[in-house]
Amino acid sequence: MNVLQLKKDIRKLADPKKAKHLQRFFKTGKGEYAEGDVFLGIVVPQSRILAKKYKDLDLNDLKSLIASKYHEERLIALFILINKYNTTNHKKICFHFYIKNMKYINNWDLVDLSAPNIVGKHLFTIAGSSHLFEDFSKPIGNTKTVNLNNSDKTAARASKIVSNEIARKISHKEIHPFEILEILSKSENLWERRIAVLATFWFIKNNRFEESLKISEMLLYDKHDLMRKAVGWMLREIGKRDQKILIKFLDKHCKVMPRTMLRYAIEKFPEMLRKHYLGN
C-alpha cells in the first residue's frame, strides 16, 4: 500500500457530476469562503473506506496527501491521521502534524470531522481535571480578534495564519499547550477560528463545558456566518446535556448574540422557551 496506489483508487471513484454539485455546495466560487477548492466527486462514506484500506500510510505519505489540491484527498488524509492518533502511542506526533498542516484544513467539513477528534481529544487528555484557561492572566502574544464579513476576502486569502506560529512555539517548547485554542480563536483565518470552536466538542461530549463557553464568549461578535453557526451548534450541544448552563449563558448574552447563533443554540428548546429568547 502506498500513496500513489491510493490516488489511483481515488481517481477510479471520481464522479464529475457529483464534483460539480459539491463545488457549488461548498462555496468554491470566486469570492466565496472556499474559493478555488477542487472536488473529485467522492462522498464521505467512500472516503472513509479508502482511509481504512490505507490506514498504514506513514506521515511522509500523509504530508503529500494533505497538501493535495483535491478536497477528498485532504479529507482522506485526515481520516487516516485520526485513526493513527487513536491507535498509536505517539499521539503527540499526530497532534503536531495536524497543527503544522492546519493551512490545508480549509473547508468546514474538513474542520468538523477532524478538530474534535485530534485537537479536542488531545487537549482534553492533557487537561485532565484542570480548567483549560485557569492560568490565563495576560493576553496571548500579539493576536487579536478579527471579524470577517462574508463580503471580505475569503478565508483562503486571509493575511495571517497563526498555525505556523503555534507550530514554531510548540517545536521550541515556548507555548503552554492550553494556549492553542485561545490563539486559534483570535486568528484572522476563518478555518482556524472554527477549529478552536469544534475542538471543544470533544470536551462537551465528555460533559465538560467551560472551554466551549469561554471560546463562545470570545467569538460572540464574529461576523462570519460559518462561525455564528459553529458557536450556536456547540451551545446547542451543551444545552442538550445541561439546559440550565445554556440558559445561564443565554441570559447573559442573548441580547447581543447574532440571530443565527441564537437560533442554532435554542433549536432544541421547547417552543415557549424559544419564543422567549427570540423575543428579547
Phi, then psi, of 133 in degrees rounded to 5 = -110, 15
Cβ-based neighbours of 177, under 8 Å, separated by 6 or more: 123, 126, 170
- Cα–Cα distance measured from residue 140 to residue 138, given in angstroms and rounded to the nearest whole number: 6
CB burial of 126-135 (b: ≥16 within 10 Å; e: otherwise) equals: ebeeeebeee
- Cα–Cα distance measured from residue 125 to residue 151, given in angstroms and rounded to the nearest whole number: 38
Cβ-based neighbours of 26, under 8 Å, separated by 6 or more: 34, 37, 39, 71, 107, 108, 109
> Do the beta carbons of residue 26 and residue 37 sit within 8 Å?
yes
Q: How far from chain centre, in Å, is Cα 230?
A: 9
Instruction: Give the CB-side neighbour count of residue 195, counting CA atoms within 13 A.
Output: 33
Give whole-number Cα distances, 93 to 56, 58, 73, 110, 197, in Å: 15, 12, 21, 20, 22
Q: What is the pLDDT of residues 51-63, one digit of tens each?
A: 999 999 999 999 9
CB burial of 151-177 (b: ≥16 within 10 Å; e: otherwise) equals: ebebbbebeebbbebbbebbeeeebee
Q: Is 177 helix (H, G, I), strand (E, B) or coil?
A: coil
> Do the beta carbons of residue 98 and residue 119 sit within 8 Å?
yes
> Do the beta carbons of residue 187 and residue 193 sit within 8 Å?
yes
pLDDT, one tens digit for every residue, the chain (280 residues): 799 999 999 999 999 999 999 999 999 999 999 999 999 999 999 999 999 999 999 999 999 999 999 999 999 999 999 999 999 988 989 998 999 899 999 999 999 999 999 999 999 988 775 554 443 333 333 333 333 333 334 433 433 456 666 666 666 555 665 678 888 998 889 999 999 999 999 999 999 999 999 999 999 999 999 999 999 999 999 999 999 999 999 999 999 999 999 999 999 999 999 999 998 6
Domains detected in the chain: 1-88 (1.25.10.90), 92-280 (1.25.10)
> Do the beta carbons of residue 72 and residue 40 sit within 8 Å?
yes
Q: What is the pLDDT of residues 176-216, one digit of tens each?
A: 656 788 889 988 899 999 999 999 999 999 999 999 999 99
DSSP state of 70: B
Neighbours of 188 (CB within 10 A): 20
